[in-house]
Amino acid sequence: MNRKAILIAVSSQSNPIPGVYEDCDLWHNFLLSYSGGVWNKNEIIPLKDCNRKTLLAAVNSAKDAHYSLIVFAGHGQSIKTDLPWNETQVFLGNDEQMLECELNPGTPRCTLILDCCRQSPEITESTALIKKGMLHESKSDPVKCRAAYNQSLENAEGGLIKIYSTAIGKSADDIPSFSQHLLYQANEWSKQNYGILTFQQGGALAADAIQKRNPQQIPEYHGGRRLRHFPLAVNIK
């Protein structure tokens, strides 16, 4: 199973979100861990404050993978395009923008996570620092964890899954961010459970936690009608 992950963190000078860099680092460390599926370092592309050209090159480099995971942490907004539905537009370095559809490398299986606001352009979000969590030290066999993760990917239906940190018109909380909530739930799950935690299940756990803290945020999981969802975390006896 050829994988590729692109982890994007952008904090503009005019409206900084310093915590996005920690989000990017946490995702990187999680993917390398046993629970995260034992990704190889050469399968992960971390990008911080990248411009449009650099990001497009990274997305293009992932097009031949069997599975791609794209995570964006930073500022975003919901805009009307030629499509019949709104699209999320993310902000990059050098005051450039990119639409969510451009972040999809077109791999047979893809998870796109947009950890940003989806308000209309005239509304801005408040910014704050986030707290860093700790990863669970699993005692599982890394070879078995990677194999189980790959098998779960093989068993899942192909296509694109989109996960939004907020509903359209809502702002995202930065203390902690959606990524922090999601990875915390994956970490807690791996302490007490064996098998596979899917993005659908992990997203639901994160949404419940966010509901208690910031009920206006309303994260959204768009997985279509699939019965078998992509893995978020794995723990093997």
What does the domain layout of the chain look like in residue ranges? 3-235
User: Which residues, at least 6 apart from 211, have a Cβ–Cβ distance to it below 8 Å?
Assistant: none
Beta-sheet strands, E only, within 94-143: 97-99, 109-115
**Percent of the chain residues topping a pLDDT of 70:** 89
pLDDT at 119: 58
Pick the CATH number of 3-235 from 3.40.50.720, 3.90.1150.10, 3.30.565.10, 3.40.50.1460: 3.40.50.1460
Per-residue confidence in pLDDT tens, the chain, 237 aa:
999 999 999 998 778 887 899 999 999 999 999 999 999 999 999 999 999 999 999 999 999 999 999 999 999 998 887 877 788 999 998 889 999 999 999 999 999 999 988 654 543 332 222 234 445 566 778 999 999 999 999 999 999 999 999 988 887 776 788 999 999 999 999 989 999 999 999 999 999 999 988 888 999 999 998 999 999 999 998
**Residue type at 73 in one-letter notation:** A
User: Which residues, at least 6 apart from 73, have a Cβ–Cβ distance to it below 8 Å?
Assistant: 8, 9, 10, 17, 20, 23, 24, 115, 116, 177, 179
Neighbours of 178 (CB within 10 A): 28
1 contacts 40 by C-beta, under 8 angstroms: no
